Amino acid sequence: MVEMVRVKQAPLFDLRDELVEVLKALKVNKKSFEGVQIIPLERVNSLLIIGYDKSLVATAIKWVKELDRAPTAGRDSIYIYNVRNSVASDLANLVSSLISGKGAKSSSSSSKNKRMTPPGSFRNNKNTREPTIFKKSRPSLNAASMQFAGEPALIPDDSRNIIMIRGLYPDYVRVRKLLERLDNMPMQVLIEVMVAQVSLDDNLKYGVEWALKNNAAEIHGTGISFNESDGLKFNLAFDDQTDIFKLFNFLATNNNFTVLSSPQVLVLNNETATVNVGEQVPIITSETSDTASSTTSNRTVQYKDTGVILKVTPRINNDGIILLDIDQQVSSVKDQTTAGIDSPTISTKEIKTKLAVKNGQSILMGGLIAHNKTNNVSGIPLLKDIPGLGWLFKTTSIKSSKTELMIMVTPYVISSEDVLDEYIKNFKEKLTGLRQQLEK
């Protein structure tokens, strides 16, 4: 059963919250209201009541009419707004700037050093700061100012993530509408990344870019702008997933194609996501010796992250284009060959770049080629180690190899909870398929 009840006097969301509390304490014919949904419809200022039992819905409608009363006029009251998607102090600061026509002079203290206070209790600490109060300034001739009947004040509490509003009821209604319009779900970006290493043989001795330009794999990508100082030699954008699969098949068939990592990261807009797959290596940064005994007395050790380290910062503009700041580092530990130094040598390949891509478009970054040389010594045991004559019984061969680092990035804009649920569903299906393959 579905019923819509129009709210005439009381604040819509306050009435909804009060109604939910009342219904929790009631039972009709030994039936609770757990199956009754109360949905506020802001555009028509009504409550949508959904339930399977007619008696429960009828009781809910009755209490809507009982609670639908305007607050006492002409006197300041305290109202509470529960922040859903923002930080209370940031939202209060922004709304205060809007209603006063100028930026707020102060903001509340950071919530990082605050501890949660249970409802109904108070802190008794001399160092505890008083909550910041954002008040509406006196009306001015500023065109950006908004006229209010009184002087509403916004008091944020980051520990509970609420905003207390002190003022007249008409002012509260206007302030609440501003808060609700600004307190939206933040945009998110799901970023799929694949970091791979390609061993370059005779077929790709000039790199992957040369093979793509000569259309060796009949792959078609769109070139995009990049900064050569980042160390990248080419960037390609792929709108068709078929071309991506062609590229991977071509590299896997003709060369040694190794996937180093393939993470998926969900990150808020304008925030940085970091993925670190590897280990920390101790590096000796300083050493103090006792000159009298010639023994080491103290060493300072710093741990350095190695492996695959990815930092991505997405920025979504109004046209749906995603600006990506990418910092990709692949490092490995090598044995130290310098005498007297205990710390290992770390080989690092790093890419820093900024890209503008479409939603769901795959970007291939590559061209970072490393040259490796290894000396292999073989010969007759014992005889090859004779000083002065050992060279007669051994041979030395030098083997050189080249590898190219490639990064594939595909961002997806998560604009609503429905879109996020769809990606989560697809991810679970992939995990289920992988689990079934492992169990075979």
pLDDT of residue 115: 38
Q: Does 132 fall in a domain?
A: no
Which residue, 48, 67, 86, sits at the end of a domain?
Answer: 67
Residue-wise pLDDT tens digits, 9-35: 888 888 888 888 888 877 665 666 777
Closest CA relative to residue 203, chosen from 193, 216, 191: 216
**Is residue 195 within 8 Å of 264, Cβ to Cβ?**
no
pLDDT of residue 214: 55
Q: Same domain for 175 and 204? A: no
Which regions of 42-186 does DSSP assign to beta strands (E)? Answer: 46-50, 77-82, 134-135, 153-157, 162-167
**CATH number of domain containing 87:** 3.30.1370.120
Closest CA relative to residue 193, chosen from 111, 282, 54, 314: 314
Tokens (6 digits) for 341: 């130094």
Number of domains in the chain: 3
pLDDT of residue 424: 81
Q: Does 346 fall in a domain?
A: yes
Q: Same domain for 151 and 175? A: yes
Least confident of 11-25, 62-76, 287-301: 287-301
Q: Same domain for 170 and 282? A: no
Residue-wise pLDDT tens digits, 164-221: 998 888 888 888 888 988 888 888 999 888 888 777 766 555 555 555 555 544 554 4
pLDDT band (50, 70, 90) for residue 293: low
Q: Same domain for 323 and 431? A: yes
Rounded Cα gap, residues 49 and 5, in angstroms: 8
Residue-wise pLDDT tens digits, 368-414: 777 666 667 777 787 777 887 777 777 777 777 777 777 888 899 98
Q: Does 53 fall in a domain?
A: yes
**Is residue 355 within 8 Å of 324, Cβ to Cβ?**
yes
Q: Same domain for 40 and 94? A: no
Q: Mean pLDDT in the chain?
A: 73
Residue 114 pLDDT greater than 70, yes or no: no
pLDDT band (50, 70, 90) for residue 309: confident
Q: Same domain for 176 and 244? A: no
Specify the amino acid at residue 256: N
pLDDT band (50, 70, 90) for residue 132: low
**Is residue 232 within 8 Å of 368, Cβ to Cβ?**
yes
Alpha-carbon separation of residue 383 from 375, 376, 379, 387, 391 (angstroms) = 19, 17, 8, 9, 9
pLDDT of residue 336: 63
pLDDT band (50, 70, 90) for residue 315: very high
Q: Same domain for 176 and 46? A: no
Q: Same domain for 262 and 231? A: yes
Q: Does 140 fall in a domain?
A: no
Q: Does 347 fall in a domain?
A: yes
Query: How does strand 362-379 pair with strand 394-414?
Result: antiparallel
Which residue, 134, 159, 184, sits at the end of a domain?
Answer: 184
Q: Does 112 fall in a domain?
A: no
Q: Same domain for 173 and 266? A: no
Q: Same domain for 248 and 375? A: yes
Rounded Cα gap, residues 153 and 162, in angstroms: 14
Domain span including residue 303: 193-286+298-439
Q: Same domain for 61 and 78? A: no
Q: Does 371 fall in a domain?
A: yes
Q: Does 422 fall in a domain?
A: yes
Dmax of the chain from CA atoms?
108
Which residue, 184, 214, 232, sits at the end of a domain?
Answer: 184
Q: Same domain for 257 and 216? A: yes
